[in-house]
Chain A
């Protein structure tokens, strides 16, 4: 929380008393809620070691295979997210550059593409990548990593590249006009100016936005579970639940893993944002304090 809020003054004695009362009431309410939830869960036997053991007790015989599955899941999740992200940035940049440098006629199909992919649910695009492409005979299984992996990556990329195209466009547009003019004046061509002068600067500005979006991509990898088989984190959780019949416990652990990874990424984005010189232009997504509003929310 920001130490000084614009919304209220430093509090006087009465306000402080009121705040204390509100604090006590809020604490009581929250504690009461927590108590009810915990009691209910306990009554259902959800805290038994039989259900938690395989997840938290290293001496449990299932502990090792369970964590091996989870670790594999994290690796696969990160792998898919990283590849999808890289492709999205590259393709997004190409689309943005094309949009900035093409004439009006050339731009229209690109805008159509952007609107099309932005308007579809990610899970539908993942379905397209993992199932439709296979049905119409695109030989994704020839690629290293396998068909489902690339199907997932293609689905995520289709969605995120157009979002990146927008981010890059905003990033380039946010640079002072003099940058491009100066580049042209030194004899660079339009393309060279873009490549050597504008994009490098835009990317620096955009880095936090890229990382924030990585969080979205990472969460969206879990959508593959609705479409096909890829052993990412959520699928591994399903596999564990199927064997041990402890859905609540497994999902709590998995949720915590997602939160830990994504929270760390969010912090990294903030750190990078804060390090940036204030004079530089700002990219499409702003990362102020700890409020990241992602450029494009996924699931």
Chain B
């Protein structure tokens, strides 16, 4: 296991296990068309961009255990939407994808690796919130996820978060210390309804063999399980939270933040392609349009 007891590992732990499950060899061939790499871009001296462009390489913190967003495959390469996003940004700096060093950054250490200068940015299903903004700055958001509920297809009792209270025997599974596990608490009749594991794939297994009645986390992750389940699972109810994923950068680097936002906006096509070749391969996952960036601070 890689990242346990971590905030967002939780949020999006096992997006599309589908990708994983189909297994074997076909993952590698589906990578997006290489994003364009700018030829010797010019930056104002002293900015982060100038430094990185000069250096010709960048260190990016990402998850290694999140199918669809950042999953280390058997040969040690990381694949997923977050990885593609990092490549788009690096391209804007004139950095080739091969020059990106991905550093495994589970949820709990994301602020730390930025503060400690171990990475230049973090793209790791990183939900923007005020608490985190005290320690780091965010560019983006580049994607807005939302928490939802997944149940077995033959389950008619659970229709959304509200019905968990009425079905006080129902067990709902999430990941220890995750934001979704905290969000769902208010909907429960009894805290004993919440079953916690280290990874969402374990929750999906538990749902598959009837040990729990529902799994809750971000919709994109759940869609992955639904797609993989051969009709065994379904999503119910509306998304009941909003989780804007941002790109973490050192606190106060406004110029870098603006640069990232501009780069993403200028590469909408690559953005859509990045989605379709990774998290978007799951049936029912709509290709998002790039969300309006939040003001940089």
Q: Are B24 and A242 in contact (CB under 8 A)?
A: no
List residues of A (50-70) whose CB comes within 8 Å of B's CBs.
Answer: 54, 61-62, 65-66, 69
From known contacts A62-B74, A228-B106, A243-B74, infer whether A234 and B1 are also in contact, taking CB-CB under 8 Å.
yes
The 0/1 profile, CB within 8 Å of B marked 1, for residues 196-240 of chain A is 000000000000000000000000000001111100001100111
From known contacts A62-B23, A62-B24, A131-B108, infer whether A243 and B71 are also in contact, taking CB-CB under 8 Å.
yes
**Chain B contacts for A225, CB-based, 8 A:** 1-2, 4, 198
The 0/1 profile, CB within 8 Å of B marked 1, for residues 60-96 of chain A is 0110011001000000000000000000000000000
Q: Are B74 and A226 in contact (CB under 8 A)?
A: no
A244 interface residue per 8 A CB criterion: yes
Q: Are A65 and B25 in contact (CB under 8 A)?
A: no
**Chain A contacts for B4, CB-based, 8 A:** 225-227
List residues of B (63-79) whose CB comes within 8 Å of A's CBs.
Answer: 64-65, 67, 71-75
A-B contact count (CB 8 A): 71
B157 interface residue per 8 A CB criterion: no
Q: Are B73 and A229 in contact (CB under 8 A)?
A: no
A176 interface residue per 8 A CB criterion: no
Chain B contact residues, majority secondary structure: loop
The 0/1 profile, CB within 8 Å of A marked 1, for residues 47-91 of chain B is 000000000000000001101000111110000000000000000
Number of B residues near A (Cβ < 8 Å) is: 30
A245 interface residue per 8 A CB criterion: yes
Partner of B74, one of A66, A234, A247: A66
Q: Are A242 and B5 in contact (CB under 8 A)?
A: no
CA distance A168 to B173 in the complex (A): 47
**Chain B contacts for A134, CB-based, 8 A:** 109, 112
Closest chain B residue to A244 by CB distance?
B23
Closest chain B residue to A231 by CB distance?
B2
Closest chain A residue to B14 by CB distance?
A242
**Chain B contacts for A244, CB-based, 8 A:** 20, 23-24, 74
List residues of B (2-38) whose CB comes within 8 Å of A's CBs.
Answer: 2-5, 14, 17, 20-21, 23-25
Q: How far is the CB of B28 from chain A (nearest CB, A)?
A: 11
List residues of B (196-212) whose CB comes within 8 Å of A's CBs.
Answer: 198-199, 201, 205
Q: How far is the CB of B72 from chain A (nearest CB, A)?
A: 6
CA distance A244 to B4 in the complex (A): 20
**Chain B contacts for A141, CB-based, 8 A:** 118
The 0/1 profile, CB within 8 Å of B marked 1, for residues 175-209 of chain A is 00000000000000000000000000000000000
Known interface pairs A66-B74, A69-B74; 9 further A-B residue pairs with C-beta atoms within 8 A, sorted by A's residue number: A135-B112, A227-B5, A228-B109, A239-B72, A239-B74, A242-B67, A243-B20, A243-B23, A245-B20
Please list 16 pairs of residues, one from A and one from B, whose beta carbons are closer than 8 Å in the complex, sorted by A's number.
Answer: A61-B24, A61-B25, A62-B23, A62-B25, A62-B74, A226-B5, A227-B4, A227-B5, A229-B2, A229-B64, A238-B2, A242-B65, A243-B71, A243-B74, A244-B20, A245-B20
